[in-house]
A and B are shown apart, each in its own frame.
Chain A
Amino acid sequence: ETGVTQTPRHLVMGMTNKKSLKCEQHLGHNAMYWYKQSAKKPLELMFVYSLEERVENNSVPSRFSPECPNSSHLFLHLHTLQPEDSALYLCASSPDLAAGHNEQFFGPGTRLTVL
């Protein structure tokens, strides 16, 4: 496996379910990100981790709970979601946070549908 992988690629869940999204990067990067991509809206940054510590939580509802057990893995735990949370959730990584010109490498995303 190379780059940034995400599982599952598609997820359908009810509003009372608990599920988790997984992201893994094989690039040796120190920073990881969760983004939400909704139809007709710009990408929204949700969470940022650097060396397993959360750097930013962008006013995300508590029904989304991130976890970064090590610098290669990032999870997004989902609980009692709403239909408006249906979106493509993208994970990204970058070498570190310090150098602004570093690009972020994106995974393919998880398409989430909340019924």
Chain B
Amino acid sequence: AQSVTQPDIHITVSEGASLELRCNYSYGATPYLFWYVQSPGQGLQLLLKYFSGDTLVQGIKGFEAEFKRSQSSFNLRKPSVHWSDAAEYFCALRTTDSWGKLQFGAGTQVVVTP
């Protein structure tokens, strides 16, 4: 069965510093992969997605993610965080043989300090 693991439950980063959030997946083939962000009291917003082609994906708000098949990873990065990036981040997987079911990781809470 497929699974998504976000090893870091909580990350604290200084404003202006770089950020990397880890995501590992388990699936027998190449899945569709997504990163969503959830601000307090809000729903989930898609940051970026990968389904084929270039393994470095650019998203909104200055985020990017790199798909590494050999490591079964899809880590999210941002070179310089802003206070508004404080939120919870979810990695999600959809298998290529399913009709739409997204499997989410447990999420990583990001705190940004001045």
Binding site for B on A (CB under 8 A): 4, 6, 31, 33, 40-43, 45, 48, 50, 55-56, 90, 92, 94, 96-98, 100-109, 111
Contacts and interface: CB of A to CB of B under 8 A. Distances in A.
A90 B43 contact: yes
A13 B30 CA distance: 44
Contacts of B42: 108-109
Contacts of B104: 42-43
Contact of A100 (B43, B44, B90, B98): B98
B100 A48 contact: yes
B100 A102 contact: yes
A45 B102 contact: yes
Contacts of B44: 90, 92, 106
B97 to A, nearest CB: 8
A13 to B, nearest CB: 19
Contacts of B107: 42
Interface of B: 4, 32, 34, 36, 41-46, 49, 51, 90, 94-96, 98-107
A98 B100 CA distance: 7
23 contacts: A33-B100, A40-B106, A42-B105, A43-B102, A43-B104, A45-B102, A48-B100, A55-B99, A56-B101, A90-B44, A92-B44, A96-B100, A97-B100, A100-B32, A100-B94, A100-B96, A100-B99, A100-B100, A101-B51, A104-B46, A104-B100, A104-B102, A108-B41
A106 B95 contact: no
B95 A4 contact: no
A56 to B, nearest CB: 7
